[in-house]
Chain A
Amino acid sequence: MALPDDKELEAIFGDTIDLTTFKQILEMDEPGDNEFSSSIVFGFFDQAEETFASMDTALDAEDLEKLSELGHFLKGSSATLGLVKVRDGCEKIQRYGKQENLDGSPENDVKVCLEQIKKALTAVKSDYEEVETGLRNFYKDDDEEEGV
């Protein structure tokens, strides 16, 4: 299969994915086979859902430090895939977990931090679902194309 061109990808993902980054992953696929990139992407799905669950737990426990760690963790992998919206949401969680505002200034009110994380987590989950749907369709379409 030929690499999908930018327009096609943009149509699928809009601004949820940084195409330059994502295409790099696609380029790693063997011609006619998206095994590698799909394994990464589906691996990321597992990772993300797991992390969101952990974040929910940590949020209930009001464990800011843990939230920051989890935010950092998912930020790394989402960034590697070019999932910019998820990445930005994770960064918010990481920052407020460190009791920082988005500009890096300290936010001493734990309540505010937790509230912001709660908001960011809801947003990032929704962003994630959006990009997940897009990615699943992308790989489904690819499979179909290949099947054809």
Chain B
Amino acid sequence: MSGTEAANAPGGGNNASEFVRKLFRMLEDPTHQDVARWGKDGDSFVVVEGEKFTRSILPKHFKHSNMSSFIRQLNKYDFHKVKPSADGESASPNGNVLEFKHPYFRVDSKDDLDNIRRKAPATRKPQVAEDFTTSQHVSVVSEQLTATQQQVQQLQELFADISQTNRLLVNEVLTLQKMLNAQKQAQYEMLNFLSPYNHSRNNGMMAHQMSSNGGMSSSDGDENVPELRRARELLSSVAPDTVADRELERLHDIYEAPADSATMVTPVSMPMLHDPMNDISRYPVYPVGQTVGIDPFHSDHINKIPYAIPNENSSGSMDQHQQHQQHTPQPNQMNNAPGASLEKPTSLWGSKKPTVFLVEDDGTCAKIGIKFLKSMGCDVEHAINGVEAYNRINAVGRDHFDMIFMDIIMPRLDGVSATMYIRQHCPATPIIAMTSNIRPDEVNGYFEHGMNGVLAKPFTKEGMLKSVKTHLQHLLKNPPSQSDNGHGSAFMMNVPYLSTPGNPIKFESPTPPAGAGGSNWSSGHMSQNGVDSGFGMMDGSNQYNITQGRNAYSTMDAPSGRLSDHDSPPEKRQRLNNSQRTYA
């Protein structure tokens, strides 16, 4: 160990810690080599006499005399205590020899002192604690995040569920509303039906049915039956909540067809009587050979349906019809006069010959159909397409025709669409589809759109006659129960008329006839409901008719409802029905 080295000490290892430099200097000090010195290999140092070291050297170099503190310091700087080397030099009788070692603490490498760093045990401990709390904190936060995310997801699911439920509910409410309207309308129809019945019963004069009915049309005052009047009052006393309805309709629009909402709430009343006809070319002809059943809810169909007319009540409807008469062109009238020459000597019919409307674009079919019908003693009118048919019916009023034969595929306006238009005015007139498209799905489509029967093409006279007899039993001279149609006929006759409560709802305003004063709520958005509800009714309460029709369509007759009316003779019923239809 040279003085030069010692002198250099402060310079070399400048960066080394004070403790290490002091330690190095201490070992350089030749004065106490017996107490503390470098180890034999110069890579460790040895404290030979701990007591002496503590007393004299520590105070001199480290300003303290605490051996354990010195050792602690050494530990801090990562000196390790080594077993005293086995050489005799270090052997000590008292065994109080301590030897310490550090990889960089060498006698010949002062520069390496810089590499001796204080370990960071003191800082490490708090750091671990900090890490612990931080990681704990992070995990807590992430747990919270997960929980929140789960909550959000649950809420989203819940929202979806509730949306779905709400949509169902809105639809359900609308459906119920429509059904309610339908029921209401049905009630009115029945009331209308009952009033002349009661009236005539009071009169006890069946023979004067028509004239007494004539009197009844003037006012409701004829309802001298208190029950009927009360029923009417009850029906008209319940007014729907317009605002809620509108809101509901809006919701429905949002759910179903936002794009259509604007048109759906547009109130259309009179214009529709002309628009469909003016724009008729827009309306697609019923597709040739349609291969699927008609979906009544398909927008194609819905949009084709004109809005319901506001109200058809008493004299108002008469005015309307007169108006139509001025506006609408007269269609071909093949025959307004009875086909007398061809009428068989023994007429089928009673006092009134039926007037049948044949809507058919094919001249051959039309001629033969007309011929057949005339040979049955019917008056026949002919139109060559749906537009003409609709205009004609508007012109002559709902009771002009007793029955309509309707071709399905026609130019300008097909039979199904025409039927939907016609049903606005003629809820009860039997309309028979005349077509070669008679697959069950197609036939179902006809029934669903308000038709009452199907006559397959090519039709036979017999088939046509059967259809006419079925639907015009009330006009037959012989009561149907005695006719050769057999057992079922007495019941079948009821069907077209019992099903009418569904039909008027279909295209007529749901406005109660008696509540005309407060009936504004029905125009506009509710008219659309009226249209929809018709389908609902056809799908719902009239299901049995349709179903039966499916079974029975091969006979090309109207579905049979099998609802019997044992009490009144059919003829009487039908007359009553006649009068009812006049004033409904």
Chain A binding surface, main DSSP class: helix
**Given A43-B367, A79-B457, do A73 and B362 touch, yes or no (CB 8 Å)?**
yes
Q: Are A68 and B436 in contact (CB under 8 A)?
A: no
Residues A43 and B457 in contact, CB atoms below 8 Å apart: no
| Nearest opposing residue in chain A for B361, CB measure | A73
Contact of B436 among A47, A69, A76 (CB under 8 A): A76
B365 located at the interface, meaning its Cβ lies under 8 Å from any Cβ of chain A in the complex: yes
Tell me how far the C-beta of A57 lies from the nearest C-beta in chain B, rounded to whole angstroms: 17
- Whether A80 and B372, one on each chain, are in contact in the complex, defined by CB atoms closer than 8 angstroms, is no
Select the stretch in A19-27, A109-117, A136-144 that faces chain B: A19-27
Which residues of chain A come closer than 8 Å to B372, judged between CB atoms?
Answer: 28
Within 8 A of A (CB), among B316-365: 341-342, 361-365
Closest A residue, CB atoms, query B410: A73
Tally chain B residues at the interface, Cβ within 8 Å: 22
A-B contact pairs, 16 of them (CB 8 A): A20-B460, A25-B368, A40-B371, A69-B409, A72-B436, A76-B362, A76-B436, A77-B364, A77-B365, A80-B458, A80-B459, A81-B364, A81-B368, A94-B288, A100-B289, A104-B291
Give the residue of B365, B436, B461 whose beta carbon is less than 8 angstroms from that of A27: B461
Contact with A along B268-295 (1 / 0, CB 8 A): 0000000000000000000011010000
A37 → chain B closest CB, angstroms? 9
Q: A28-B368, A95-B289 are known contacts; what are 6 more A-B pairs with Cβ within 8 Å?
A: A24-B460, A28-B461, A72-B288, A73-B362, A76-B436, A104-B291
Of A20, A40, A47, A72, which contacts B289 at CB under 8 A?
Answer: A72
Within the complex, which residue of A40, A87, A100, A104 is in contact with B368, where a contact is CB–CB below 8 Å?
A40
Q: How far is the CB of A104 from chain B (nearest CB, A)?
A: 8
Query: Are A98 and B364 in contact (CB-based, < 8 A)?
Result: no
Bitwise interface map of B from 367 to 407 toward A, beta carbon under 8 Å scored 1, else 0: 11001100100000000000000000000000000000000
- Give the Cβ gap from A22 to chain B, nearest Cβ, in Å: 10
> In chain B, what residue has the closest Cβ to A70?
B288
Considering the chains assembled together, what is the distance between the CA atoms of A77 and B458 in angstroms? 8
Question: Given the interface contacts A28-B372, A44-B364, does A76 sit within 8 Å of B457 by beta carbon?
Answer: yes
Tell me the smallest distance from the CB of B442 to a CB of chain A, in Å: 13
Residues of A within 8 A of B459 (CB): 80
Contacts A24-B460, A72-B288, A94-B289 hold; do A47 and B375 have CB atoms under 8 A apart? no
Alpha-carbon distance between A79 and B362 when the two chains are bound, in angstroms? 12
On chain A, the residues within 8 Å of B457 by CB distance are 76, 79-80
Which B residues are in CB contact (< 8 Å) with A68? 288-289
Shortest beta-carbon distance, B23 to chain A, in Å? 99
Chain B hits for A69, CB < 8 A: 288, 409
- Chain A: CB-nearest residue to B409: A72
Please report the C-alpha to C-alpha distance between residue A77 and residue B407 in the assembled complex, in whole angstroms.
Answer: 12
Q: Which of these, B342, B363, B371, B458, contacts A21 with CB under 8 Å?
A: B458
